Structure 1
Amino acid sequence: MHEFSGFPEAALDFYDDLEMDNTKTFWEAHREVYATAVAAPMKALTAALADEFGDAKIFRPYRDVRFAKDKTPYKTHQGAFVAKGPSTGYYVQVGAPGVRVGVGYYEASGPRLASIREAIVEQRRGAELEDILATLTSSGWELGGDRLKTSPRGYDADHPRIELLRHKSMTLGKAYGFEPVIHTPELVEQVRADWRAATPFVEWVQRHARA
């Protein structure tokens, strides 16, 4: 395993071109670029973080198009995910817009979502989550996730945390974009620091998302 030395410019160029020509012909002609500029660095990056966060799943580059209207065959980014619970954990990706990190839960079953909402409603646990999110969003993280347009059934629309209760999934993301650090070995410590900072959110979800 090679040590992580950064994502080369070729990785971003590869995805920039793939967005314009998402075909098997292009992919086969640039397979080696993907392997050396994208896949190998991502494997090295996640390996360098595994001692603290755990082993990552590096996603396949192929899209599942069986039930999709969009039949383009390849993903336009390379992602990796460290699971800490069902659909919950740490994320990093590289694509044409550069590098991005994330944390949170990207889906929740009915019982898990109900237990998360129960915690949000309860004053002590809900206030703890608000404090965690306020700290992270004030330092550059963006709150995202799928949300209901209306209040979830059974919850008061006037509840002080109704915006959080509308979430069906809840994620925090941070973009590094084209910052020079993404092309250097120092990206490992950048991701490590941001994942560490966001760990209180991951741990809050782990404690309260009961199956």
Structure 2
Amino acid sequence: MPTFDGFPVAALDFYDDLEVDNTKSFWDAHKKIYDEQVKAPMVALTDALGQEFGDAKVFRPYRDVRFAKDKTPYKTHQGAFVGAAPATGWYVEVSAAGVRIGGGTYHAAGPELAQIREGMADDKSGKVLERILRDLGRGGFEITGEQLKTAPRGYDKDHPRIDLLRHKTLLGMKKYGFEPFVHTPELLDRIRNDWRKLRPLVNWMAEQLS
């Protein structure tokens, strides 16, 4: 198994250039850089993390442009995801903006969203989630996700956890950006430690969806 030595500067430079020239001709001329400087390190990273968190899906670099107004063919980032439940798990990404990581639920609708909101509304499990998010916030994570502007149907706008109940998705995210360690093996340890901190949130969401 190849060892992970960090994401080379060339990986970030590749996405800088791709944002300027998102064409097949650019891609074909630079595919070797993508394969060796972006994809190979991401696979090595997720293989190392997989020993603790499970197998990762390393996303394809191609955009689905069938119904998109933006017809540029390539994603301007490389992401990977380890699932723990439907649309729930851990995430890592490298792009021109550097490296960022996160965890939680990135999509929920219908019965799944109703189950999550039931857990948020419940006095016991809702307070557990509040503590989890408070700890993550203190640990430098940004608590984010898509939210309704008003109270969801069936819940009073004065509910003590209405801010949580307005969430349609819920994530803890952290940006590493261009910190020097992203180019070194230290990045693996940083991500592993932060994913461990995200485990209570991932587990809470997965329990609601079980």
Please state which band the TM-score falls in when normalised by the shorter chain. over 0.9
Matches of 1:29 and 1:47, distance apart in 2: 28
Equivalent position of 2:7 in the other structure: 7
The CA deviation string for residues 152-188 of structure 1, in whole angstroms up to 9 with x for no partner, is 0111001111111011111111000001111001111
Equivalent position of 1:110 in the other structure: 110
Matches of 1:209 and 1:85, distance apart in 2: 7
For 2:173, what is the secondary structure of its paired residue? strand
Q: Does 1:67 align with 2:89?
A: no
Question: 1:138 Cα deviation (Å)?
Answer: 1.3
Matches of 1:75 and 1:98, distance apart in 2: 15
Matches of 2:115 and 2:55, distance apart in 1: 27
Give the TM-score normalised by the residue count of structure 2. 0.98
Equivalent position of 1:54 in the other structure: 54
Q: Does 1:173 align with 2:173?
A: yes
Q: Which runs of 5+ in 1 are unaligned?
A: none
Instruction: State the AA in 1 paired with 2:154.
Output: G
Question: 1:109 Cα deviation (Å)?
Answer: 3.0
Q: Does 1:189 align with 2:185?
A: no
Instruction: State the AA in 2 paired with 1:81.
Output: F
Matches of 1:125 and 1:136, distance apart in 2: 17
The CA deviation string for residues 133-155 of structure 1, in whole angstroms up to 9 with x for no partner, is 00001111111111111110111
Matches of 2:39 and 2:159, distance apart in 1: 46
Identity of aligned residues (%): 61
Instruction: State the AA in 2 paired with 1:86.
Output: P
Q: Does 1:98 align with 2:98?
A: yes
Question: 1:45 Cα deviation (Å)?
Answer: 0.3
The CA deviation string for residues 82-121 of structure 1, in whole angstroms up to 9 with x for no partner, is 0101000000000001000010111113111111111111
For 1:176, what is the secondary structure of its paired residue? strand
Instruction: State the AA in 1 paired with 2:156.
Output: D
Matches of 1:56 and 1:83, distance apart in 2: 7
Matches of 2:7 and 2:172, distance apart in 1: 23
Give the TM-score normalised by the residue count of structure 1. 0.98
Matches of 1:72 and 1:162, distance apart in 2: 39
Instruction: State the AA in 2 paired with 1:13.
Output: D
Matches of 1:68 and 1:138, distance apart in 2: 38
Instruction: State the AA in 2 paired with 1:151.
Output: A
Equivalent position of 2:207 in the other structure: 207
Equivalent position of 2:36 in the other structure: 36
Equivalent position of 1:131 in the other structure: 131
Preserved contact between residue 79 and residue 91 of structure 2 (Cα < 8 Å): yes
Q: Which runs of 5+ in 2 are unaligned?
A: none
